[in-house]
A and B are shown apart, each in its own frame.
Chain A
Amino acid sequence: MRILPLGLILIFIVACNSSKKPDEAAFLEGLDSAEVEGPAISEEVISSIIQQIPSPLEISVLLKESGTKYDRALLNSPDNISKYNSNYRKALNLGIYGTDLGYTNIYEQNQDGIEYMSSIKELADNLSIGQFFDIETIGRLATNSKNLDSLLLITTQNFNNINKYLQEQKRANLSVLSLTGGWLEAMHITCEVSKKNPSNKDLKETIGEQKIILDNVVQLLSFYKESDPNMASLLNDMEKLQKEYESVEIIKTYQESTFEIVDGVMVIKDNSTSEIKITDENVENIRSIITSIRKKIIS
């Protein structure tokens, strides 16, 4: 019979523990809502759109594969960091520097990479997300180009973890800004490289197919237009870009895929195709708008 009071105590302890988590969540929520009024849309919807946005690293690999030479002059200077004095500007430039770091990594420009990592760490610290960067480990990897795979893996994981953490902490607005900055920088580099290589069809197509990503970015920013004037202003700029993209066409033709198994991996043969219709004038106008938006962000 002595087990009964013991059991009740046990249930009581479990009940107390299980009620602790919502309290903590409510506390954190309270802290965050004090900073930014939340969007009208659910965090789950925002997270599901955020996760669709591809990594800017894909564009850096495309640039390298196309034979384009490394050009540091295309990137935002790591020394500009002192200009970024609000969470809005810090989060946008965190994304910009993240893309620049990926670009230096892909081109194995490790010394430049260390400078970007240092600026990223400082911005992240200011946004209370600096715990995701172990500068010592990254610096050690960056000193040897043989460690490139590990360096890319760690930096990609860090940015993924930051995005997840910000969403969990109900600070998805910062995640949206970081992704927007990262995407803008990748677009800027691609447009500038395309300007120098106007005959490169792959680059033009890459610029054209960003219409899909831009729609996502615009949608994400629109969730904050009522609660955040900075994001509303950025949305306005992005909508101008979206207007230019209206005449860019993506034509898809679906055909069932086939597959074969090679060494335990299912290799799909995609029989569908897509064609991207974009003019030189479109590319130049997109480049011009991107330059203008980026200038506002990095200056």
Chain B
Amino acid sequence: MKKAIYSIFVVGLFFLFSGHANGQCNPEQYTDACIPKLASGFNFLKSYKIDGQGGAKTKVEYSYVFTKGTQYMINVCATGSSTDGIVVSLYDSNRNQVATSKVNGQYISAIAYPCNTTGIYYIQYTFDNSTQFCGGSALGFKR
């Protein structure tokens, strides 16, 4: 009986702590940090939470209609000054890749995109050797 109770206790603790591990991501702190990092002249539009749920999610995706003649900036913030392996990729409405922030093994923290084609674009965040699977991003625009 004591063994059974002990097992329940151990299993209970496991669920308790695994629940905490998944709930640790606080993307707001990163989105808040990301908004002021938009380059001068860009107006803030949206902030995006990047919560990979401790690695359970392989990608986080949002979409937005970009307008011809407008320049957009997307930046990524994570723990410390790095992007913690978070890669942002931009796809057009036909799912053609327009940009990805990983170049030659280097993670770029901001993309500027002067849009020539009005349409729905997909902003996709993936995790590449990420330790926290947690970050934030901001989208801004200027004409």
Contact = CB atoms under 8 A, between A and B. Distances in A.
Interface of A: 1, 4, 7-8, 10-11, 14, 18, 48, 51-55, 57-58, 61-62, 65, 152-153, 156-157, 160, 202, 205-206, 209, 212-213, 216, 250, 252, 254, 256-257, 259, 261-262, 264-274, 276
Given A65-B143, A212-B120, A266-B101, A7 B9 contact: yes
B116 interface: yes
Contacts of B113: 268, 270
B119 A212 contact: yes
B141 interface: yes
Contacts of A160: 46-47
Contacts of B56: none
Contacts of B112: 262, 265-268
Given A4-B2, A8-B9, A48 B63 contact: yes
Nearest to A213: B65
Max chain A Cβ within 10 angstroms of own Cβ: one of B9, B90, B113, B117: B117
B13 to A, nearest CB: 8
B8 interface: yes
25 contacts: A1-B2, A7-B9, A10-B12, A18-B19, A52-B65, A52-B120, A53-B65, A57-B45, A62-B69, A62-B70, A153-B44, A157-B44, A205-B68, A209-B67, A252-B117, A254-B92, A261-B103, A264-B109, A265-B39, A265-B108, A265-B110, A266-B111, A268-B112, A270-B115, A276-B118
A270 B116 contact: yes
B45 to A, nearest CB: 5
Contacts of A273: 116-117
B69 to A, nearest CB: 7
Nearest to B66: A54
B43 interface: yes
Contacts of A256: 96
B98 A268 contact: yes
A250 B94 CA distance: 14
Given A157-B44, A254-B92, A268 B118 contact: no
A166 B66 CA distance: 24
Contacts of A268: 90, 98-99, 111-114
Interface of B: 2, 5-6, 8-9, 12-13, 16, 19, 35, 39, 43-47, 62-70, 73, 90, 92, 94, 96, 98-99, 101, 103, 108-120, 141-143
A4 to B, nearest CB: 6
B44 A8 contact: no
A266 B112 CA distance: 6
The 8 closest A-B pairs by CB, nearest first: A11-B12, A7-B9, A274-B117, A209-B118, A270-B116, A266-B108, A265-B110, A65-B143
A5 to B, nearest CB: 9
A274 B12 contact: no
B118 A7 contact: no
A4 B110 CA distance: 52
Contacts of B47: 157, 160
Nearest to B114: A270
Nearest to B93: A252
A253 to B, nearest CB: 8
B117 A272 contact: yes
Contacts of B119: 212, 250, 252, 274
